[in-house]
Structure 1
C-alpha cells in the first residue's frame, strides 16, 4: 500500500511538473512556478521609466496581442528596477518576477533588461490563447559570454533586410554575437573607400558552381556585383546594437584571397592575372607577405575598425596553402631573414604582424584554429572549427577560444535524411547532436576552462542561394545552440527540449519562417544481432503512426504498421513515413540495404574516424548501406591523414571469394581516393595472411568503387588496410595538407 501511494505521488508530481514547465528556449537556470495567474490585459500599463529602445522592441513583438499605456510606477503593470553597477560576469543577469498584478524586471544593464523581455515575449506567445501567465520568479544569466552565429555572404549574398532578419532570429533566442563573413575567394562584400576595385571587380564573378563539386558544372550566369556600402554597414551595426548583438567582421587572410587578388594582383606572389573564384574550395594563390600587402591590409582594417565597434576583428587564417610561398623568392628570403622554421612559421609571422596593427587600434584578433600554425600570436583568440583540439591548445596556453567544431556546429550540414533534404555541403548534424554538445572540453582543468569564451555555429553558403534556405538550415538547430550557449541544455532530457521546439514552431509559422521539419521525419537505426541486422524506426511523434514497406513501394499505398525492429535478412529497400488519421505527415524515407557476409558482424578499427564524419562509428562499414557519393553524412566514415585498418570477425569460419569496398574522390574538399589496399585473413586474429593487393592505378580506374575476386577463401577473421593518399600534392586544393579518406561499406560474398 505504501509503495502504491508513493508511486502515485511520483506520477502526480511528474504530471504537475510537465504542466508547469514553460515552453522557453533557452530554458532559464532558475525558475519557480507559484500559485496564481497574471492576466494579460488588453492594454498593458507601462512604467514611464522603462528603457525606451528595448521597450519599443517589446511593443512591436507582442503587438497586436496587447496595446500599451504609460502610467506612474504605482499602477504600472510592467516595472523595471535597475540594479547598481554590475559585478564582473553579471552584465547579462536578469530577474523576472510575475505576480497576479504586476511584472517586475530587475537587471544591472539594459542588455539584461532586453534578455528578460525575450523571456516575457515567449511567455506572452505561449499563453496568448487564455491570456493567463503563471505567477513565477525567474533568476537567470548565460553560462557563456560568446553565443554566436556566423553567416557567409561571399559564396551567396544576402540583402541588408535579410541580414537584419538574421539578427532578429539571434536576438529572439538570446544569442549575442553575429560573425559576418565578408570576404573570400568567391566575393568581396564590403566597400573599402581607399580601394574601390575591391568592389568594382571583387564583388562579382562570371558564374557559380552548381551541384556536387566532383560534377564540375556551372550555371553560366554572372553573379553580382553584390556588396554592402559603408552606410549600409553602419545601419546594420546600429540595428544589431539595438538588439544587444555584437557584430564581429571577418576579413580573410592570408588565404581565401582570390577576390582581393583579382582586383589588386600585385599583392600575390605571382603576377596573375586572377579572377574571382567560380568554384568552391581552396586555392593556391594567397596574399604574399610583402610590405605592400601589409600596407593594403592595414588600410583595409583601418576602415573596418571604424565601422565595427566590436572588441574582436576576425582575420580568418584558415586553409592557407603554402604552395606559392614555397616557390616565392621573397617568401623564402623572409623565412631566412626572420629565422623562421618553415612556411608555417611564415604564417605565424603574417598573423602576428597583423595582430600588432589591430592591437595598436585598441582591438584584438580572433582567427580560425590554423592561426596556431607556427606559434600563436601573443593576444589572439582562437575559433576552433576543425575539431576541439584548437580550443584545447589555446586554453592550455592561456588564450581565449570560441568552440565551433564542424561535427556539432556546422549548419551547412544535413539535419535530416539527405534523400529528403535540400542539397547541402555534406556531413550530418541533426538537432539532437547540436543539443548534445558541451563547449567545455573534458581535457581542460577548471582554470583552463575559463578561457573558453563560448560557442558558435557557422552557416557557409556554397549550396544556399536564397534566404528561405538560410532559414531552413538554421531552424530549429539555432534553438539547440541557444540552450547550449546559455548553459541549460541537458541531453538526457532531449525529449523535453524537442517538445519545446515544436511549441516554438507556432511562433515561426506566424513570422513566415521556412524552418526544417526534419524533426517529424522517420529516423532509422541499424542494429546488429546474432542473426544479422534489424532496422529500428523512430519519430518525434507517436511511433504508432509509422508505416513501412519492404519491397520499395510507396507506404501511402500499401504498408505495414510499425510494431518493432524490422528484420533485414536479405537485400531490400525499406520505405517509411509518419501518418496521422490516415494522412501523410512526414516525407517518405527510403533506405536500400545490400546484404553480404560481413553485414552486422563485429568490426574494429585501429584508427578512429574524424569526429565530423563518424556517424555510427565502425559499424557504419558493415551496416548493409552503400554510401551515396554526393552525401557525406550518415553513411561514410572520414579519416583525415589516417589509413583505414578494419578487422571483421565473422564469428565462425566463413567462405568467400569476392570483396568490395568504396572510397570517394572530391578534391575540392581535400578528399582523395585511396593510394592502395591490402586484404588479409586469419583464424586466430593474430597471424594474418595477405591474400590480395590493390594498387593506386586500379583504384583510380574503378573510380573508387572496388570489386575484387579474392579466390576461394575460408577464415574467421577478415582484415582490410586501405591506405590514405597522404599529403595533398601541389596544384590541388589543400596542397601540403593531409588528405581525407572516405570509406563506406566493406562487403564479402
Structure 2
C-alpha cells in the first residue's frame, strides 16, 4: 500500500467557524465541516515526496493563480504525518479512495494509490477555484470514493473531426469531474480517423468525403464542401494515450464492425458483399453496405486490431456491432452458405458468429471486447461486455447472464440531444435530455438483484457529432450535463435534491467562464410544461432563479421587463402564442421561449396509448399528443413521440358526447434515419369505450400525398370517445437505409375539429 501526504504551509491564518458547504461536483461521499479556514497564501509549499505527474498537473491547473515551491527533505518546514492505515475489508474501490483534511495551516491528503491522490487533487482544485476571490477555504474533512468503476464520456470524431489539442481538452474536462474512461469513436461510414500502417488507403481514401449533410435532421441538404482528409497518426494517438494516462483516464478505442463500414469499404471494396464502388457517406444515418464475413475480411480486421491493440493499453476494445443492416447478407451467396455451414438460424445468427470470431481473436491478445447492445443479436459472445444504448434492456439481459455492462441509454445519456427548449437551442440530433433528466438517472436497473447488479460496470454519456461542427459546440453540448453525469457515476446524485445540485452547477459556471468554455445556459432559461386544466391546458413556467422575474406575453410580441408578471400557470383555451423570458434588475437574462398553441376539441383531454413510445422520444408521454402543440418537423425534440416498430393506437376521452367532423395528425418522413411515414390510419368512435365503430380509413397513397400532414374529413360525428390508429410502416424494405430493421414512426398532435 502506498501512502501520500500533501502539506501546504502558510504564514497567516484567520480562524472562524463556517457551516457553508463547498460547491463540489461530484459531491463527496462524506463531507464534514470543521472550525476555521485555510487562507490561501501567495506561495504554496508542497512536501517533496509527492507523486510527480499528478502534482505537476495540479500545479499547471492552478498556475495562473498560485506560485509553488517544494519543501526539501530535512528542511526547516514542519510536516505532520497523517496517514490512513486501514480500510474496511469489503471496500472494493480503494484504488480511487482518498481522504482530504483541510486545517487552518495545513492540508493533508491520504490515499492508497496515485489514482486516489489524483482524485483528491481534483477536489482540492475545485475548492481553490471556488474560493479564490476571498482566499479563504473552510476547514473540512472529506472521505471519498466512487461507486462505479466505469465513468465515461464518448466522442465521435468521424462525423466531424477534432484536433489533438481539442481531444486533450476534452480529456481534461473528464478529469475535472473525476470521470475515468474516454470512449474514442474512430471509425464510421463518414470517416476513418486512425492511421493503420498495413492499410494506408484507409486514411488516404476513407478519411475524407466529398461533402456533408447540413440543416435539420429531416432535411437532405448538403454543403457542397470537401471534408478532410482528417485522421490521427499513430504518433499522435500515442501522445493522446499518454496524456490521458497522466490524468488516470483510460481510452477505449472503437473500431466499427460489421456495420458502419462505408469509409473502410471505400478503401478496400473487396471486403464487401458487392463489388462497389463505395465512397465515405455524406449523409448521416445507416447504410446497407457492411463488412462481408469472409476470411479476407477477418484477416483485414485482425490486422487492424493488432495495430489498435499496440496503441491502446485498455482492457476493452470497442468493436461497435450496432445498426448492422442484413440486406446484403440476405442475398450474398457466401453469407448464405456460411449460415448453412455453421447451422446458424438466420442473419442475426451470422452477426453473432461475426462478433464471436472477433472476440476469440481479441481474447488471444489478452484483451476483451465491448460492443453496443445489438451484439446480443443471435447470442452474446462468451466474454463480451455490453454497452446498453437502445434502452436498459440490453444491460439487464447482459447482467442476468453474467456479462458486464455499461449503461448509456439514449434517453438519459445522449448529449447530442437538445438540453433546452429546441426553439431557442442550436440545431441538434433530436430528443430532449435536459440537465435534470441526466441527474435523475440510476445506472442500476430495478430489475436486477444485488448479485446481478455487480455486473453493471458504470455509466457513460455519448456525444455524436452529426450536427457539431466545431469544438465550441462540443463544449456547449457537454457542459453542464457532464457535471450531472459525474455525480451519477460517482454515486452521490440525489434527484430529490436537484435544486441543490443546480446551485452547485451555477457556482461552477464562474470557473468555466475563466476557462473560456462555451457552456449551455439553458439552466437560466424558462422551464415550460403543459398541464391539463378544466378549459383545456395550462402553460406552467418556472426558473431556477427568482420566479418573480418571469415575464410573458399572449399576443406573440417579445416580452420586456414591463410585461405581465408570471404568477400561476397560464390557461390556454384558444389558439395563441405565448412568449416568456426571465428578467433580473430589468435586464433580460434568459433566451426568449416561444410556444404556439393550436387548440382543438382533444386538447387537454384524457388519452391512453396501447403501446408506449421509445424512451428516447417519449418526453411528456401520451399527453404530448393532446397538449395543443404541433411538432416542428425540423426538431425531433419534446413535441414528438417516436415509436420503433410499433403502431400508435390512441384512445381519447372527450369527457362528454361531442360533435366533430375533422381529425388531423402529422408524421415524419426521413428514410436515411429509418423514419417512415405511416402506411395506413383508421378512426373509430365509441360512447362506452368498449364498442368502437370504424368511421374512416386511409392507406399509404393518401398519406404519401399529404407528405405526412394528415387532415381527415370524417363527416358529422358525435361521440364521447375517439380512437385513432396510425400504422407503423413495419420492416424497412430492401433498397432503403436500415433495410430489414423496424421502421420508426413519429407522431405529434392528434387534433379534432
TM range (shorter): over 0.9
**Aligned counterpart in structure 2 of residue 75 of structure 1, from 74, 77, 100:** 77
Q: Is 1:631 matched with 2:635?
A: yes
Shift in Å at residue 77 of structure 1? 7.1
Name the structure 2 match of 1:256: 260
**What CA distance in whole angstroms lies between the structure 2 residues aligned with 1:18 and 1:504?**
20
Give the equivalent residue in structure 2 for 1:219. Answer: 223
2:567 is equivalent to residue 568 of structure 1: no
Partner of 1:452: 456
Which stretch of the first structure deviates more once superposed, 115-124 or 95-104?
Answer: 95-104
**Which residue number in structure 1 is paired with residue 165 of structure 2?**
161
User: RMSD value over aligned CA atoms?
Assistant: 1.6
Residue 713 in structure 1 maps to residue 709 in structure 2: no
Say if 1:733 and 1:258 are closer, same or farther in 2 by CA, change over 3 A: same
Counterpart CA distance in 2 for 1:413 and 1:709 is: 36
Distance change >3 Å, CA 17–CA 456, structure 1 → 2 = farther
Contact 2:535–2:572 (8 Å) recurs in 1:
no
Cα distance change, pair 80–732 in 1 and its aligned pair in 2 (3 A): farther
SS at match of 1:600: coil
Q: Does 1:521 align with 2:525?
A: yes
Deviation at 1:559, TM superposition (A): 2.0
Post-superposition shift, 1:75? 3.1
Q: Which residue of 2 aligns with 1:686?
A: 690
d(CA) in 1 for partners of 2:712, 2:641: 21
TM-superposed deviation, 1:17: 13
The equivalent of 1:665 in structure 2 is 669
For the residue of structure 1 that corresponds to 2:218, the secondary structure is helix
State the shift of 1:45 in Å.
1.2
Shift of 1:556: 2.5
- Asked whether the equivalents of residues 685 and 723 of structure 2 are also in contact (C-alpha less than 8 Å), the reply is yes
Report the CA distance shift for 1:17/1:133 in structure 2 as closer, same or farther (over 3 A).
closer
Change (3 A) 1:393 1:17: farther
Indicate the SS of the match to 2:746.
strand
Tell me the distance in 2 between the aligned counterparts of 1:136 and 1:212: 50
Aligned residue among 510, 529, 536 for 1:532: 536
Aligned to 1:12: none
- After superposing the two structures, state which structure 1 stretch, 550-559 or 348-357, moved more: 550-559
Pairwise mapping of residues 261-660 of structure 1 onto structure 2 (< 5 A)? 261-556=265-560, 559-660=563-664
3-state SS of 1:91 partner: helix
1:138-149 alignment runs, 5 A limit:
138-149=142-153
Aligned residues of 1:524 and 1:538 also touching (Cα < 8 A): yes
In structure 2, C-alpha distance between the alignment counterparts of 1:156 and 1:80, rounded to whole Å: 49
Report whether the alignment pairs 1:61 with 2:65. Answer: no
Cα displacement (A) at 1:101 = 1.6
Give me the TM-score of the superposition, normalised by structure 1. Answer: 0.96
The residue number in structure 1 matching 2:21 is 21
Among 177, 191, 209, the residue aligned to 1:187? 191
Structure 2 runs not aligned, ≥5 long:
1-15
When residues 522 and 148 of structure 1 are mapped into structure 2, their CA distance, relative to the original with a 3 A threshold, is same
Post-superposition Cα deviations, 1:532-564, rounded to whole Å, max 9, x if no partner, equal 211111111111111010000011386211111
The alpha-carbon deviation at position 714 of structure 1 amounts to 0.5
Return the alpha-carbon distance in structure 2 between the equivalents of residues 235 and 130 of structure 1: 38
Cα distance, 1:19 vs. partner?
Answer: 5.1
Q: Secondary structure of the equivalent of 1:334?
A: helix
Query: Retained in 2: the 8 A contact 1:346–1:374?
Result: yes
Offset at residue 20 of structure 1 (A): 2.0
Superposed displacement of residue 293, structure 1: 0.4
Q: Single out whichever of 161-170 and 72-81 deviates more from structure 2.
A: 72-81
**Bigger CA drift: 330-339 or 78-87?**
78-87
Q: Distance in 2 between matches of 1:257 and 1:76?
A: 62
**Cα distance between partner residues in 2 of 1:674 and 1:18:** 63
Partner of 2:32: 32
Report the more deviating stretch, 153-162 or 70-79: 70-79
Asked if the contact 2:535–2:571 (Cα under 8 Å) also holds between the matched residues in 1, the reply is no
1:215 deviates by 2.3
For residue 80 of structure 1, report the CA deviation from its aligned partner. 8.0
Q: CA deviation at 1:614?
A: 0.7
CA distance in 2, matches of 1:529, 1:417: 23
Helix, strand or coil for the counterpart of 1:652? Answer: strand
1:76–1:731 CA distance, 2 compared to 1 (3 A): farther
Of the three residues 225, 235, 248, the one matched with 1:244 is 248
Give the whole-Å Cα distance in 2 for the aligned partners of 1:434 and 1:76.
46
Q: 2:512·2:519 contact (CA, 8 Å) conserved in 1?
A: yes
Question: Does the CA contact (< 8 Å) of 1:594 and 1:624 recur in 2?
Answer: yes
Distance in 2 separating the partners of 1:68 and 1:692: 79
Q: Aligned with 1:348: secondary structure?
A: helix
Question: In the alignment, which residue of structure 1 is the partner of 2:8?
Answer: none
Question: How far does residue 663 in structure 1 lie from its aligned partner after superposition?
Answer: 1.1
- Alpha carbons 2:93, 2:147 under 8 Å: kept: no
Q: Distance in 1 between matches of 2:410 and 2:525?
A: 23
Distance in 2 between residues matched to 1:681 and 1:77, nearest whole Å? 83
CA contact (8 A) 2:641 2:746 kept: yes
Which deviations, in whole Å up to 9, do the C-alpha atoms of 1:435-467 show, x marking residues without a partner?
000000000011000000000000000000100
Q: Give the CA deviation at 1:665.
A: 1.2
Instruction: Give the deviation of 1:425 after TM superposition.
Output: 0.4
Distance 1:206 1:76 in 2: 66
Corresponding residue of 1:4: none
User: Matched residues in 2 for 1:521 and 1:571: separation?
Assistant: 24
Give the equivalent residue in structure 1 for 2:6. none
Identify if the C-alpha distance between structure 1 residues 595 and 348 changes in structure 2 by more than 3 Å, giving closer, same or farther: same
- Report the Cα offset of residue 79 of structure 1: 7.3
State the 1:531 CA deviation: 2.2
The residue that corresponds to 1:210 in the other structure is 214
CA contact (8 A) 1:727 1:735 kept: yes
Instruction: Report if aligned partners of 2:93, 2:145 keep a CA contact under 8 Å in 1.
Output: no
- Structure 1 portions without partners, runs of 5+: 1-15
- Please give the alpha-carbon distance, in whole angstroms, between the structure 1 residues aligned to 2:428 and 2:19: 38
Offset of 1:352 from its aligned partner? 0.4
Q: Secondary structure at the match of 1:719?
A: strand
Preserved CA contact (<8 Å) 1:213 1:668: no
